[in-house]
Chain A
Amino acid sequence: MIHALRAEWMRLARPRTFAWVLPLTVIYAAVITYVMMANAAPGPGGGAVTAFALSRDGGGILSVVSGAAFASVLLLAVFVGLSAGTMARGTWRAALLHQPRRLSLAAGTYAAQVLLIALLAAVLLAAGLVSAYAIAPSHGVDTSAWMSLESWRMTGEDYVRIVAFAAGWGLLGTLVGVLTRSVAVGLGLAILWAGPIENILGDQLSVMRHWSPGLVLRDMLVPGSAVVPEPRAALVLAAYALVVVLVLAVVLRRRDVTA
């Protein structure tokens, strides 16, 4: 698994990748922070991005953490593209000729991808905090609590939530990519599900709101406004993760590699 992780990291973490991913992450953090602050409602808000919440402990990254939830479809699309692309392009087959342990190869590859996401999440939070400091004065947001110990504790917690959120969407995207083995079909299915179906059904059906993986992942990321309580969300997501990993393990081990 370590071989696969190092190989995938070597492939992903190239200067060329960072040359466009890092600026995009910084721009996304700055834009989302500005939009959230500019539109922050007055009042306590109960987990939402309000002027009151922004001026409390952890307020410096509140905008960017809430905004990270909007990246779900992007994350899903990226992981579908990565996994389906490697199947369709034949690079999965080529990799197996050098690393025949399929599960180790898949696990190491996924771990490297999540590692990159974790790095970008750190950049996102840092850029969000810097942006918040720059934007806050023009919107009358008090920043005095942002460097408290509690704020740093909350930042660490939010960082773990963002990485878990991304890893969850990544696992779903990997499953869709592996099952479809087609970037076009995989992306179509994934976007259809994560976009209209999940959100429309989530609004209409309470069972969807409580059980749909994407919506529960969003609840986990922003627990203050969650419909599903945090411990239950963690259990549901762990169960989903277990099922996805098992399905992936069976499919990857048993399926012939013909492309």
Chain B
Amino acid sequence: MTGLVGPNGAGKTTIMAMLLGLVRPTDGTGRVLGHDLGDPTAYLHRVGALIEGPAFFPGLSGRQSLEHLALLGGHDPARIPGVLELVGLDEREGDAFRSYSLGMKQRLGIAASLLGDPDLVILDEPTNGVDPAGMRDIRAMIRRIASEGRSVLVSSHLLAELEAVCDHLVVINRGGLQYEGDLASLPTAAGGSLSLRTLRAADAPRLVELLRNQGLEAAVDAGDIPTLRVDLGGLAGAQLAADLNDRAHAAGITLSELHENHDSLEDRVLALVGEGVRS
């Protein structure tokens, strides 16, 4: 499962539209499921997609919408009950699309993407406008889709969402590739850091001095009892934390807080693209 991220205007939707034959590439080459990007009819029968939001005729019910698309694509209509159940719309299948909530519309869009039993599923912002409970459902749905042996390419402006479901990441900015690889291998923003806090406010300056004696510069947050942040700079966080804890204890400084900060996916992507990451 691959996540596609990048700031506004980076080209995420355009890339997906190119993969789906909706937008013609102006330059370059590409292959989808072994076929050239220039001949989308050769592979699109093996691809399901939801791009730029769900679009259905408002007067058709959820089931009729899928029947319409099944006829259009020559898909087996026997799959309709299964995909409706997968996305949790089986009990509302007879209701008009216009009466659906945004989350239900997104789920119907995902159901439509699965009609043709695709090998590759492309989902553009599948959680857009969905409430937290709906996001959790869609996340579980995407995992289930991938667990059925399908490749999934998903874009989202909610990087925590991608972190929860993806194992592979593509980061783009201004139409250029910034990173492509395993999620775990994405470079950290600043090599990680340690946060330390003393039990007594008066000990904070002594701790800063102690750190300085160890060759470590601490950034001090404002507060009654300030939190000190030390960049690891490539040092092993757990080992350094244990060492500093020993030294503080020896100096009579009681620490109330000591932990290693792991950069979130957002921090790491921000470090790559250098600006706010939104869809």
In the complex, chain B residues 61-112 whose Cβ is within 8 Å of any chain A Cβ: 64, 67-69, 71-75, 112
Residue of B22, B24, B57, B69 near A93 (CB, 8 A) is: B22
Would you call A97 an interface residue if the criterion is a C-beta within 8 Å of the partner chain's C-beta atoms?
yes
Contact yes or no, A3 B52, CB < 8 A: no
Contact yes or no, B41 A11, CB < 8 A: no
Contact yes or no, B21 A91, CB < 8 A: no
Q: Which residues of B contact A96 (CB under 8 A)?
A: 20-22
- Contact size class for B? 20 to 34
Contact yes or no, B21 A93, CB < 8 A: no
Contact yes or no, A91 B55, CB < 8 A: yes
| B14 shortest CB reach to chain A, Å | 9
Q: Which residues of B contact A105 (CB under 8 A)?
A: 72
Residue of A3, A100, A256 near B23 (CB, 8 A) is: A256
**What is the number of residues of chain A that contact chain B, defined by CB distance less than 8 Å?**
26
Q: Which residues of A contact B112 (CB under 8 A)?
A: 94, 97-98
Would you call A4 an interface residue if the criterion is a C-beta within 8 Å of the partner chain's C-beta atoms?
yes
Residue of B56, B71, B115 near A3 (CB, 8 A) is: B71
Take A11-B60, A93-B22, A256-B24 as given contacts and tell me if A98 and B52 are in contact as well, using a CB distance cutoff of 8 Å: no
Would you call B53 an interface residue if the criterion is a C-beta within 8 Å of the partner chain's C-beta atoms?
yes
Chain A CB within 10 Å, residue with most, of B21, B54, B60, B72: B72
* Identity of the chain A residue whose Cβ is nearest the Cβ of B60 in the assembled complex: A11
Contact yes or no, A91 B57, CB < 8 A: yes
Take A3-B74, A7-B68, A256-B24 as given contacts and tell me if A90 and B55 are in contact as well, using a CB distance cutoff of 8 Å: yes
- Give the complex CA separation of A105 and B22 in angstroms: 14
| B128 shortest CB reach to chain A, Å | 14
Q: Which residues of B contact A97 (CB under 8 A)?
A: 20, 44, 47-49, 51, 112-113
Take A7-B69, A93-B52, A95-B69 as given contacts and tell me if A100 and B40 are in contact as well, using a CB distance cutoff of 8 Å: yes
In the complex, chain B residues 107-130 whose Cβ is within 8 Å of any chain A Cβ: 112-113, 115-116
Would you call A204 an interface residue if the criterion is a C-beta within 8 Å of the partner chain's C-beta atoms?
no
Would you call B59 an interface residue if the criterion is a C-beta within 8 Å of the partner chain's C-beta atoms?
yes
* Identity of the chain B residue whose Cβ is nearest the Cβ of A102 in the assembled complex: B21
Q: Which residues of B contact A90 (CB under 8 A)?
A: 52-53, 55
Contact yes or no, B57 A98, CB < 8 A: no
Contact yes or no, A3 B73, CB < 8 A: yes
Q: Which residues of A contact B232 (CB under 8 A)?
A: none
In the complex, chain A residues 5-46 whose Cβ is within 8 Å of any chain B Cβ: 6-7, 10-11, 14, 16
Would you call A257 an interface residue if the criterion is a C-beta within 8 Å of the partner chain's C-beta atoms?
yes
Contact yes or no, B55 A93, CB < 8 A: yes
Take A7-B68, A10-B71, A258-B17 as given contacts and tell me if A98 and B53 are in contact as well, using a CB distance cutoff of 8 Å: no
Q: Which residues of A contact B51 (CB under 8 A)?
A: 93, 97
7 closest Cβ contacts across the A-B interface? A90-B55, A98-B73, A7-B71, A7-B72, A257-B22, A94-B55, A256-B23
> What residues make up the interface of B, taking CB atoms closer than 8 Å to A?
17, 20-24, 40-41, 44, 47-49, 51-57, 59-60, 64, 67-69, 71-75, 112-113, 115-116
